Amino acid sequence: MKIPTIPPAARWLCAAAVLTAGAVIAYPAARNETVPKLQEREAARSVPDQSTGLNDQTELNVTVYNSNIALVRDVRNLVLPAGTFRLKFMDIAATVNPATVHFRSLTDPDKLGVIEQNYEYDLLEPAKLLHKYVGKEMTLVRTYQESGTTKHEEIKATLLSDNNGPVWKIGPDIVTGMFAESYRFPEVPANLYDRPTLVMSLENSGPRKQQIEASYLANNLSWNADYVLAVARDDKNADLDGWVTVINNSGTGFHNAHLELVAGELNRVQPPAAINALALRESGMNKAAAPQFQQEAFSEYHLYTLGRKTSVEDKETKQISLLEGSGIPVEKVFAVNGQSSYYRNQQAPGAPLKDPVMVYYKFKNEEKNGLGIPLPAGNVRVYQKDSKGGILFAGEDRIDHTPKDEQVSIHIGNAFDVVAEHKQTDYKHVDTHTWEFEYEITLRNHKDIPIVVQVNEPIGGDWEMLSSNYKYTKTAAFAAQFNVPVAKDGTAVLKYRVRAKW
């Protein structure tokens, strides 16, 4: 059924009702307030709101930390009125922490003061826009069929309520369930914003033209390092490419910005949840361009500054070359880490227990290897060429923040062709506080090259090595390390006896 249009008189009455409902009631001034003061206040009210966006921006610095936060420093050139006024500072990160906002004039800091600031994040959406028009008039646009013809109709209506569906006043009638293809709004309400905005009440007694700076902390910006280690076929040397992965989920893009990255463990009152990001390089290995970051120490952290400006869009993961090292001497290590209770073999008493033989690549982070800068924590993916010259993925590990001249150790997985079996061959209670243990570790190498297996054995108590058929090193108070050579396609057996007191 076609709803009749509202007669002009009825529309006028509706509009009058809306205007009356929104009328401003003026009250007499306080007795102790002079007329000049009132005039001054009225003049301040008459200054229209000022706004600033990206067109005013002259400099942007973004410093991203490992802990999912970033410090944003936004510099803009503005023309500001004198006296008290409101400034809408737009195009900021949606995840800004309002308590961290610092606003100042770089031109005349003493002449521009902040009276009040608000972070407006009630963003423009169809449902919110409709809800903001409760009590106001708008236009409903609908189509209907008449005599086989599609016709369009615009109906003036006042939105009375928007709870579980709109309730309209159309002429003298109250209407629910009114279908409309679209709504037409005369304007955007003042308290609804199309983007995150800082609204500040300012007082300016300085010049009109000023350069101002707003700095703040924003969440959901993070970075991590990703490395690619390409190992030669002979396992003697490798090339290392380092990449920085910057992840922006802050709700805004940062364009033509100076980018800085801070590596280190930053203490925070409420650490945010970690972001799991898929590295772009996980599925392949590309050659890195020349390193683009300059590194320097900063407090107890390390600062990496990109030597050029860059842009990072919202919902974007960007990768930038960090370092490049070639011909790095590497060592391939086969390691067996023992356990403290080998005699507790409940499945097969007396039978040896198999331990995984872990494989590591180790190298030193030093300048002569093309490195020698602090390495940020990150994932290392290892690749190696096959017999046909193709590149194969060999494993991955995560390294911690590594200072220069320190060793880097990367666990790539467990050896397929090397077997380690532990067996306790003797257990003797010497006296009340003394025991003797004897162990036998059998190492079988099915590879076509000889290897050395590093056996790390935990030993409790105040211990003394009574006998061993291989040299050992006491690497810690309760640990001994043996380096056992095993011939190609051969077997080696490590035997040792230890006495321990508790």
- Consecutive H or E run containing 16: helix 8-21
Token pair for 25: 């009631």
Q: What is the pLDDT of residues 40-57, one digit of tens each?
A: 445 445 578 888 999 999
Distance CA 484, CA 481 (A): 10
pLDDT for the residue 282: 39
Average pLDDT over residues 450-460: 95
> Does residue 486 register a pLDDT over 90?
yes
Where is pLDDT greater, at 178 or 322? 322
pLDDT for the residue 389: 81
Q: What is the pLDDT of residues 360-383, one digit of tens each?
A: 999 999 988 878 888 999 999 999
Report how far Cα 338 is from the mean position of its chain's Cα atoms. 38
Which stretches of 220-339 are assigned E, i.e. beta strand? 221-231, 237-248, 254-263, 293-298, 301-312, 316-329, 331-337
Average pLDDT over residues 17-34: 38
- Cβ atoms 336, 355 nearer than 8 A: yes
> Does residue 313 register a pLDDT over 80?
yes
> Does residue 267 register a pLDDT over 70?
no
Q: What is the pLDDT of residues 394-434, one digit of tens each?
A: 999 999 989 999 999 999 999 999 999 998 888 888 998 99
Sorted by sequence, the CB contacts under 8 Å of residue 103 that are 6+ apart come out as 89, 114, 117, 198, 200, 212, 213, 214
Average pLDDT over residues 163-181: 82
pLDDT for the residue 37: 47
Residue 212 amino acid letter: I
pLDDT for the residue 253: 92
Average pLDDT over residues 325-331: 93
Going 385 to 391 to 397 to 403, the CA torsion angle's sign is positive
Comparing 111-125, 130-144, 181-195, the range with the smallest average pLDDT is 181-195
Distance CA 200, CA 358 (A): 60
SS3 111: helix
- Consecutive H or E run containing 127: helix 126-132
> Does residue 210 register a pLDDT over 70?
yes
Where is pLDDT greater, at 296 or 397? 397
| pTM recorded for the entire structure | 0.69
pLDDT for the residue 175: 85
> Does residue 437 register a pLDDT over 60?
yes
Find the Cα–Cα–Cα–Cα dihedral 132, 133, 134, 140, rounded to 10°. Answer: -140
Comparing 141-150, 254-263, 330-339, 482-491, the range with the smallest average pLDDT is 141-150
| pLDDT-above-90 percentage for the chain | 49
> Does residue 191 register a pLDDT over 80?
no
Give the HSE-up count for residue 203: Cα atoms under 13 Å, Cβ half-sphere.
Answer: 7
Where is pLDDT greater, at 41 or 209? 209
Q: What is the pLDDT of residues 77-134, one digit of tens each?
A: 999 999 999 998 988 898 999 889 999 999 999 999 999 988 776 566 677 777 777 8
Going 381 to 385 to 391 to 392, the CA torsion angle's sign is negative
> Does residue 249 register a pLDDT over 90?
yes
- Cβ atoms 236, 330 nearer than 8 A: yes
> Does residue 32 register a pLDDT over 50?
no
Of 501, 341, 480, which Cα lies nearest the Cα of 435? 501
DSSP state for residue 280 in the 8-state scheme = T
Distance CA 158, CA 164 (A): 17
Mean pLDDT of the chain: 82
Domain boundaries, the chain: 1-32+125-188, 48-58+73-123+193-218, 220-268+279-414, 418-501
CATH class of 418-501: mainly beta
| pLDDT-above-70 percentage for the chain | 81
228 burial class (0-12, 13-18, 19+ CB within 10 angstroms)? buried
Average pLDDT over residues 457-462: 91
